[in-house]
Copies of this chain bind each other. A is one copy, B any other.
Amino acid sequence: MKFERIDRRTYNELRKVNIERNYTLYAEGSVLISCGNTRVICTASVEDKVPSFLKGTGQGWITAEYSMLPRSTGVRTPRSTSRGTINGRSSEIQRLIGRSLRASIDLFALGERTIWLDCDVIQADGGTRTASITGAFVALVDSLRTLWERGDINTLPVKTFVAAVSSGKIEGELLLDLCYEEDSRAEVDFNVIMTELGRFIEIQGTGEGDTFNRDELTGMLSLAEGGIKELVSIQKEVLALSEVEAKAIEEFQSPVCKQKQA
């Protein structure tokens, strides 16, 4: 590899990941995730009602909000309250987080309640949206455990583990898990959200500074697939599912979900 990464990682190496569960006291699930210098607090809050379009359907809902602390960035960013409205980027990201995590849960088994996933970025060094998804998944599972303990639901309605990572092209090299420095110089930038068995939930790839072809696409997706496999292992390790819980999840996996990506 000609391109030397500032933190000396190899092209297909994740940054150091740490997930601290039960990070805050009140939320039904809460996590502090660090991916290198990127740090995000993810909390899962259960509310006993659903948006109006779901009332009476028996189906639950999962929604996300994403925000950055003003000084999570190198230069202070004014709060959106000072600007009076959430900005386009945040709105885009929180829609992505919500979609991705809804795909991981059986919303009917959840029942008519909403789980709010709040992802608040404490420190931003690239990959805040993918770290949010990876971390929020853990908080979400913990909140479902809380519901199960309380007897509000009687299983763990998780269809599949979900994690996310970025990959990209810089000076022609394909790299996994870009930090901010790399991201700002990337010609192409991918965010990939996948299940534990390597099936895609969402792909977003943008040629910021250049276009890209099929081979490059395939290369970036393969890098992401490798990274996500590692991230799921870390999620599993920190969640330390009991046998009963693992079995419950097993039962929710649809045949398709069970089938590994060819």
User: Is A262's beta carbon under 8 Å from chain B?
Assistant: yes
B262 touches A215 (CB 8 A): yes
- Chain B residues positioned under 8 Å from A206 (CB to CB): 99, 201-202
C-alpha spacing A65/B85, complex, angstroms: 17
- With A26-B73, A79-B67 as known contacts, state yes or no: A200 contacts B221, CB within 8 Å: no
Separation in Å of the A118 CB from the closest CB of chain B?
5
Chain A interface size band reads: 35 or more
B30 touches A71 (CB 8 A): yes
Copy tally for this chain in the complex stands at: 6
C-alpha spacing A199/B37, complex, angstroms: 34
* Nearest opposing residue in chain B for A23, CB measure: B122
- Chain B residues positioned under 8 Å from A198 (CB to CB): 213
User: Is A57's beta carbon under 8 Å from chain B?
Assistant: no
User: Is A86's beta carbon under 8 Å from chain B?
Assistant: yes
* Nearest opposing residue in chain B for A92, CB measure: B92
Q: 1/0 contact trace for A87-106 toward B, CB 8 Å?
A: 11101101100010001000
A65 touches B72 (CB 8 A): no
- Chain B residues positioned under 8 Å from A256 (CB to CB): 210-211
A70 touches B43 (CB 8 A): yes
User: Is A27's beta carbon under 8 Å from chain B?
Assistant: yes
C-alpha spacing A212/B95, complex, angstroms: 19
User: Is A219's beta carbon under 8 Å from chain B?
Assistant: no
C-alpha spacing A72/B25, complex, angstroms: 8
Q: Which of B47, B67, B203 contacts A203 (CB 8 A)?
A: B203
- With A122-B41, A200-B207, A206-B99 as known contacts, state yes or no: A26 contacts B71, CB within 8 Å: yes
For the A-B complex with A84-B84, A211-B257 known, give 8 more contacts whose Cβ atoms are closer than 8 Å: A24-B71, A25-B37, A67-B81, A71-B116, A92-B95, A99-B206, A200-B211, A201-B206
A selection of 5 A-B contacts at a CB cut-off of 8 Å is A24-B72, A47-B76, A88-B91, A203-B205, A204-B204
Q: Which 9 A-B pairs have the closest CB atoms?
A: A199-B211, A88-B91, A45-B76, A43-B71, A27-B71, A92-B92, A203-B205, A213-B261, A80-B81
